[in-house]
Amino acid sequence: MQIFRFAEPVYFYALLMIPVFIILYWLMISWKRRAMKRFGESSLVKQLMPDVSRSKPRFKFILLLLAYTFIILGLANPQIGSRLETIERKGIDIIIAIDVSNSMLAEDIKPNRLQRARQAISKLVDDLKNDRIGIVVFAGKAYTQLPITTDYAAAKLFLSTINTDIVPSQGTAIAEAIKLSTESFTENDHEKAIIIITDGEDHEGDAIVAAEKAREKGIRVYTIGMGLPEGAPIPVYDKYGNQQGFKKDLSNNTVVTKLNEPMLRQIAAAGGGQYVRANNTQAGLGFIFDEINKLEKTAFESRVFSDYEDRFQYLIAIAIALLLIEFIILERRGKRLRNLNLFGKKK
């Protein structure tokens, strides 16, 4: 079985210039006709210019358009996939749910909780082999940032965009994050794991129930606590990224966000996973991933066309041939053609 594709389809936009070329050519022909009329009557001008051919310029223009088309097709690089290859992979499906509420800006873990979590996830992605990964972000609401995939480059790209402004409503909806993560898995027999990275300040409740329901579906829930028990104030920044102080409550007291370890332990226990607390020396994700790797990895097959052969050279060769033909065709009529009376009209 073979598959056909263009490696660089972006070049097809250049084909939009063809109508422009046709319009310009038509305008040029119209200008020539008006110029000829200013010289005198058309019958007299034809007698004065017996070698001028009307059809050859049009034919040469068509050849140029065809050559241009084949050049664009060649640049798009048509390819034929000539070998269908089946690759067997073994891995685990992992969804990381990361807290992006303002409390994650606290700097009890350097440089701050959120940045430390992003660094740890990035390192985890570098260590993945055949496992599939997805990303969920949550604060007052939970959203899918990256559907589950083996495209690790895309995972790191989406990870780089995560900040506290990505979710409009504030809060820490851990339960909703677990529910959305559970729904994000595809139906298969793979081992599945959810890793919740948060400071544990749950403002919505029901997180333990959500973890229990995930476990009933064969999904393990792990938690990583970002922060220290003594807590830290929450920095406030202006739109230019300059710190303007710390968040205050209605009584003008500085708000201190503290790690809620007991709840995170309960969520992990309900979800059949484990809890780890991050600190300034380690983020805990490596330990969790080691535990996940102990789960049985399920094999799955991936069918891909692995060998593509370029075919651009044939199209470029046709374009060069058309340009050569256009070059050798003169716009003047030869003597034989000029004297040829195809329709038998009397002179």
- Which residue ranges make up each domain of the chain? 3-77+311-339, 88-302
Q: Tell me whether the omega of the peptide bond preceding residue 168 falls within 30 degrees of 0, making it cis.
A: no
First to last CA, the chain: 63
When the pLDDT of each residue in the chain is averaged and rounded to a whole number, the result is 82
- Dump the DSSP string for 209-251: HHHHHHHHTTEEEEEEE-S-TT-EE-EEE-TTS-EEEE-B-TT
In terms of DSSP bridges, do strands 132-138 and 219-225 run parallel, antiparallel, or are they unpaired? unpaired
In terms of DSSP bridges, do strands 235-237 and 232-233 run parallel, antiparallel, or are they unpaired? unpaired
Mean pLDDT is highest, among 36-50, 115-129, 208-222, for 208-222
Mean pLDDT is highest, among 59-68, 229-238, 242-251, for 59-68
d(CA 177, CA 175): 5
Neighbour tally for 307: CB within 10 Å:
12
Q: Is the pLDDT of residue 337 over 50?
A: no
Is the distance from CB of 221 to CB of 247 less than 8 angstroms? no
d(CA 137, CA 146): 9
Among 134, 157, 11, 22, CA closest to 76: 11
| pLDDT-based confidence at residue 336 (cuts at 50, 70, 90) | very low
Q: Can you give the pLDDT at residue 211? A: 95
Q: Can you give the pLDDT at residue 231? A: 85
In terms of DSSP bridges, do strands 272-277 and 219-225 run parallel, antiparallel, or are they unpaired? parallel
The arrangement of secondary structure in 88-302, i.e. its CATH architecture, is: 3-Layer(aba) Sandwich (3.40)
* Percent share of the chain, pLDDT over 70: 80
| pLDDT-based confidence at residue 82 (cuts at 50, 70, 90) | low
Reported as a single tens digit per residue, the pLDDT across 190-238 is: 789 999 999 887 656 689 999 999 999 999 999 998 888 888 898 888 8
| pTM score | 0.60
What is the 3-state composition of the chain as percent helix, strand, coil, each rounded to the nearest 5?
Answer: 45, 25, 30
Q: Can you give the pLDDT at residue 326? A: 87
- Dump the DSSP string for 61-116: HHHHHHHHHHHHHHHT-EEEEEEEEEEEEEE-EEEEEEE-SGGGG--SSSS-HHHH
In terms of DSSP bridges, do strands 78-91 and 298-310 run parallel, antiparallel, or are they unpaired? antiparallel
Place of tokens 């990303």: 135
Pairwise pLDDT comparison (1 vs 59), residue with the higher score: 59
Mean pLDDT of 128-152: 90
d(CA 325, CA 62): 11
206: alpha, beta or left? (left if phi > 0; alpha if psi -120 to 50): left
Q: Can you give the pLDDT at residue 64? A: 93
Six-digit token string for 347? 């002179």
In terms of DSSP bridges, do strands 256-257 and 232-233 run parallel, antiparallel, or are they unpaired? antiparallel
Residues 6+ apart with CB under 8 A from 206: 175
Reported as a single tens digit per residue, the pLDDT across 291-322 is: 877 776 666 555 555 567 788 899 999 999 99
| pLDDT-based confidence at residue 345 (cuts at 50, 70, 90) | very low
